[in-house]
Structure formats: structure tokens, C-alpha cells
């Protein structure tokens, strides 16, 4: 609808047959207009609708179809499949660990051996139960093992898929952390549009809201704490390391979304920056040692 003249040819319905649902949905999705017009009257004039009521009914059908197509396209995108996979992986792991605690308590009451965690569930899963009660415990243990194995399979999928979806982000963060960042942001496009300060605290929303209420200090990092660049830096320098990492991750996400070019220099730049930050500790220790010798 780029033509703004008051003619039937200026409407989204121009050239469409009234029953052409796909064409109408495409026109609604792609069309634009510089200013409002009397579209119902123009649609009637063009023969697209018999009256204003029918026009709005056709418009409603077209907009719903366009919305369904947009949702289907978004959910079918590879980055959204990755989001589902990493969330499913975390769900499976969490449920396996929670059920493993129940298996440990229940199994400890029925068998001489005792243990904890998924490893103990694996031990019970290999048993041949004799009583109905034992059967239920062993069956539950097998469920735990199955969930844990599904989490492993999902992790393998994430590790092999993320480098194709976001090669630079995956190189900097590692495939699993990169996928979790995509999950927290809602997708690659959304992550690419976020400022580095937001990327830095993704996953620390509770702490951030507490800070905004005045109940806690500002968080220095969110999920990126799991990255060696942050976790391997002494606490007083982790804020600087987190900012440096978030800055490079933001750049990587934008490159992955808008161009897809591989930029190995991003990793080299990050490593140099983190090395400089971590070298502060060595410098301060040397200064302190020198001060002690002077005394």
C-alpha cells in the first residue's frame, strides 16, 4: 500500500480475488501506507467486498492468517529450535536431579545399599525387582536415567547446532553458553539488538530487580559468570572481565545475525583484554612484595 492516492489501486486488496486468502495474508504482512485512507469504501469500490461489514470480515481473516504465518516462520527458525533444545535440556537435567533425590530416599528404605544422585538411580535401575514396591522404585530410577540420558542427547544436539546458528557467538562463549544466551534473549535477532550492558546481566534478572528496589547492589554479571574469562578472574576484577566479555558477545551476536561472517579476531581481542585484566593481580602482588622488601 505504498500509493496513498484515494483509489482502489492504493489498498492492500488491490488486484486480489475475494477468496484469495494466501494473497491477502501476504499483502497484509508486506503492505505499508503513508497515512490512513477510507479503505472500506475503496474496497467496496474495487469489488473486493460487498459492504463495509464484509470488508472488515475479510480484513480479519487476512490478518489472522498473516499472524499465523509469521508465528510459524519464527518458531521454525533454527535459532528458535535451538532455544527449545537448550530449555528442554535444562528441564530434563533438573527433573532428573529432583527425582533422583526421591529415588535415593525411597530406595534407601527398601534396599541395603544407599546412595545419592543420578549415579545411585543408575545402580537401582539395573536391579531385578521382586516385590511390587521394589518394582515402582526401580521403575522410577529408570525414569531418572532416561531423563539424564535425554539431557545428554540434547546437549550433544546443542553443541553441534549452535556453531551453525551463531558461529562467532559460539566461538567466544562456547556452544552451550551461547545457546543459553539465545534462550534468555528469545532468539538471535533479539540478542543482537541488546546493548552489551543487558547481555552482561542476562540470567541475573532477580538480582537486577532487587537492585532497582534498593535491596541489593547492582549485579556484575549474569549467566556469563560460567565463562572462564569471568569465573577465572579474581572477584574484584570480575566486573571488568564481565564487561569485556559482554561487549565482545554483543558484537559477535550482531555479526552472526546481520552478516554471518566468521571473525576469529574477536576471540583474539577478548583473550588479550582478559589477559590484561587478570594481569592486574600479578602486578599488585609484585608491588606488595616489593613494598615488603623495602621495609
What is the CATH number for 198? Answer: 1.10.246.90
Domain count, the chain: 3
Asked whether residue 25 falls in the same domain as residue 110, the answer is no
pLDDT of residue 104: 95
CATH of the domain at 114: 1.10.287
* 96 part of a folded domain: yes
Asked whether residue 245 falls in the same domain as residue 183, the answer is yes
Question: Which residue among 101, 133, 165 closes a domain?
Answer: 165
Question: Which residue among 42, 76, 110 closes a domain?
Answer: 76
* 85 part of a folded domain: yes
* 1 part of a folded domain: no
Q: Reduce the secondary structure of the chain to three states and give it as a string.
A: CCCCCCCHHHCCCCCCCCCCHHHHHHHHHHCCCCCCCCHHHHHHHHCCCCCHHHHHHHHHHHHHHHHHHHHHHHHHCHHHHHHHHHHHHHHHHHHHHHHHHHHHHHHHHHCCCCCCHHHHHHHHHCCCCCCHHHHHHHHHHHHHHHHHHHHHHHHHHHHHHHHHHCHHHHHHHCHHHHHHHHHHHCCHHHHHCCCHHHHHCCCCHHHHHHHHCCCCCCCCCCHHHHCHHHHCCCHHHHHHHHHHHHHHHHHHHHHHHHCCCCCCHHHHHHHHHHHHHHHHHHHHHHHHHHHHHHC
Asked whether residue 94 falls in the same domain as residue 109, the answer is yes
Residue range of the domain that includes 100: 77-165
Question: Which residue among 165, 194, 217 closes a domain?
Answer: 165
Asked whether residue 147 falls in the same domain as residue 201, the answer is no
Each residue's pLDDT expressed in tens, for the chain with a length of 295 residues:
444 455 656 677 777 777 777 777 777 777 777 777 788 887 788 788 888 888 888 888 877 776 766 665 565 467 889 999 999 999 999 999 999 999 999 998 988 888 899 999 999 999 998 899 999 999 999 999 999 999 999 999 999 999 999 999 999 999 999 999 999 999 999 999 999 999 999 998 777 777 677 777 777 888 999 999 999 999 999 999 999 999 999 999 999 999 888 999 999 999 999 999 988 766 555 555 555 555 5
pLDDT of residue 10: 65
Asked whether residue 257 falls in the same domain as residue 206, the answer is yes
Amino acid at each position: 500500500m505504498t500509493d496513498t492516492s484515494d483509489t482502489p489501486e492504493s489498498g492492500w486488496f488491490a488486484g486480489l480475488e475475494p477468496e484469495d486468502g494466501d494473497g491477502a495474508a501476504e499483502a497484509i504482512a508486506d503492505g505499508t501506507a503513508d497515512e490512513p485512507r477510507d479503505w472500506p469504501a475503496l474496497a467496496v469500490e474495487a469489488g473486493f467486498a460487498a459492504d463495509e461489514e464484509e470488508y472488515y470480515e475479510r480484513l480479519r481473516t487476512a490478518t489472522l492468517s498473516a499472524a499465523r504465518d509469521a508465528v510459524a516462520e519464527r518458531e521454525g527458525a533454527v535459532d528458535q529450535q535451538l532455544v527449545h533444545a537448550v530449555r528442554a535440556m535444562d528441564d530434563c537435567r533438573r527433573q532428573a536431579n529432583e527425582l533422583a533425590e526421591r529415588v535415593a530416599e525411597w530406595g534407601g528404605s527398601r534396599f541395603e545399599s544407599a546412595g545419592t544422585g543420578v549415579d545411585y538411580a543408575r545402580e537401582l535401575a539395573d536391579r531385578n525387582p521382586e516385590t511390587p514396591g521394589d518394582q515402582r522404585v526401580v521403575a522410577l530410577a529408570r525414569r531418572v536415567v532416561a531423563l539424564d540420558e535425554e539431557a545428554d542427547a540434547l546437549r550433544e544436539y546443542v553443541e553441534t547446532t549452535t556453531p551453525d546458528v551463531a558461529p562467532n557467538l559460539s566461538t567466544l562463549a562456547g556452544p552451550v553458553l551461547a545457546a543459553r544466551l539465545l534462550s534468555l534473549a528469545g532468539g538471535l535477532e533479539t540478542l543482537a539488538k541488546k546493548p552489551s550492558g543487558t547481555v552482561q546481566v542476562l540470567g541475573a534478572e532477580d538480582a537486577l530487580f532487587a537492585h532497582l528496589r534498593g535491596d541489593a547492589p547492582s549485579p556484575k554479571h549474569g549467566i556469563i559468570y560460567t565463562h572462564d574469562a569471568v569465573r577465572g578472574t579474581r572477584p574484584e576484577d570480575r566486573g571488568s572481565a564481565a564487561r569485556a566479555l559482554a561487549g565482545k558477545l554483543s558484537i559477535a551476536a550482531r555479526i552472526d545475525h546481520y552478516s554471518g561472517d566468521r571473525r576469529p579476531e574477536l576471540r583474539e581481542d577478548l583473550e588479550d583484554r582478559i589477559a590484561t585484566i587478570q594481569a592486574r593481580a600479578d602486578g599488585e602482588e609484585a608491588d606488595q612484595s616489593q613494598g615488603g622488601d623495602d621495609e
